[in-house]
Amino acid sequence: NPRPGSSGPSATAAAPRPVHVIAPQAASAASADGSMTIVIQGTVTGLEASATGGIHIHEGVSCATTSDPGGHYYPGMETDPWLVTTYSSDGTGAATVMFEVPGFTLSGSNPVAGRVMVVHDSSGARIGCGELSATAGEIVSMGAYPGTVSDVKGLLVVTATGSGVTV
């Protein structure tokens, strides 16, 4: 696996497989100590069957080239919080994700809006990339990672709620 923040290996697949994000939701909520947390929730398809991989927000703001996404986004934090945000796919290559990541907001402190979300396969290779676009909610249109043969596709929507953010 590549070290956190590195560009990692380029992904090549024996057979292209579409990756889709279905029924996305996102949220941001304040915890009891006043820190902020984002919640990422949705379903991703087109993944390797029966595998575990990563899904992370990266520091970049574009998926146009392999270097644009940059490394994991965790400004001013001692530990990379994205090392534990993973999916486990079923036998059809679908995974439902739901995790909270403290220390981030949609548009306040350590904002994720405007950055990119990257999906990694079980080897750590980048296979999907989508931009968190500014709208009434934040939308991630997920597609194949630049330079790969992956068919990862999907759409995530992150919105603010009365109690936080929903992805």
Alpha-carbon distance of 152 to 100, in angstroms, equals 23
Please give the pLDDT value at position 60: 95
Non-local (6+) Cβ contacts of 147 within 8 A are 10, 65, 66
Please give the pLDDT value at position 38: 83
Greater model confidence, 136 or 110 = 110
Residues 120-125 have a mean pLDDT of 95
Please give the pLDDT value at position 69: 95
Please give the pLDDT value at position 153: 73
Non-local (6+) Cβ contacts of 63 within 8 A are 69, 116, 129, 130, 131, 143, 145, 146
Residues 134-155 have a mean pLDDT of 74
Pick from 145, 138, 139: nearest CA to 47: 145
Site of tokens 């992904």? 11
> Dihedral of CA 76/80/81/86: which sign?
positive
Please, are residues 40 and 119 in contact by the beta-carbon 8 Å criterion? no
**Is pLDDT above 90 for 90?**
yes
Please give the pLDDT value at position 162: 62
Convert 114-145 into a string of H (helix), E (strand) and C (coil): CCEEEEECCCCCEEEEEEEEECCCEEEEEEEC
Confidence of residue 5 (pLDDT cuts 50, 70, 90): very low
The encoded tokens of residue 19 equal 């990756």
Alpha-carbon distance of 57 to 71, in angstroms, equals 9
Please, are residues 145 and 118 in contact by the beta-carbon 8 Å criterion? yes
**Is pLDDT above 50 for 122?**
yes
